[in-house]
Amino acid sequence: MTETSAGKWRSDGVQVIPGSSLDPNTAQTPGMSRATAINFARAGAQKIWAGTVTIAPNAKTGAHHHGALESVIYVVRGKARMRWGEKLEFVAEAGPGDFIFIPPYVPHQEINADPGEKLECVLVRSDQEPVVVNLDIEPVEKPDAVAWIDPIHRHPHK
């Protein structure tokens, strides 16, 4: 390793962004608090955005999608309820340690399912553009519960 490359990696290598220095100057929704950890301005990231979201008890977003972006939500604390579909006709819940994947263009709604505890999550998106397309959807009254399983794990009740 040359002295030049060592200096480059020192300034352009791994970065630690302390949780106490996240940037709250991002789009906000009533009942939610978002903060940016990783983006181009803060860390030089070229292809991803990462941050946190805290959702107040019983708070929820309106129906929306994020265009061509993929999103991953990691639940740190609390109980997340996700509704999705053309009429938000599907529902599933996730708790601490669970990951939620939201493909591009999927209409969805995030809900804090716990009336007494904040929902705390880490959010990662496949681009830094803050794409949010709000949808005027009349949700079905009783959504269909969907067990989150992958192709190699069996449904817990079958």
pLDDT of residue 157: 54
Structural domains in the chain, sorted by start: 32-145 (2.60.120.10)
pLDDT tens figures, 55-106: 999 898 889 999 999 999 999 999 999 999 999 999 999 999 999 999 999 9
Higher-confidence residue of 105 and 14: namely 105
Contact predicate 63/53, CB 8 Å: no
pLDDT of residue 19: 81
pLDDT tens figures, 103-152: 999 999 999 999 999 999 999 999 888 778 888 888 888 888 887 666 66
pLDDT of residue 68: 94
Looking at this protein, which amino acid is placed at residue 39?
A: N
Kindly tell me if the per-residue pLDDT of 153 is higher than 70: no
pLDDT tens figures, 31-44: 788 888 988 888 88
Higher-confidence residue of 156 and 90: namely 90
Q: In 10 A of CB 6, how many CB atoms?
A: 10
DSSP secondary structure, 45-79, as one string: -SS-EEEEEEE-TT-BPPSEE-TT--EEEEEEES-
Percentage helix, strand, coil, to 5, in the chain?
10, 35, 55
Q: How many residues comprise the chain?
A: 158
pLDDT of residue 16: 77
pLDDT of residue 94: 94
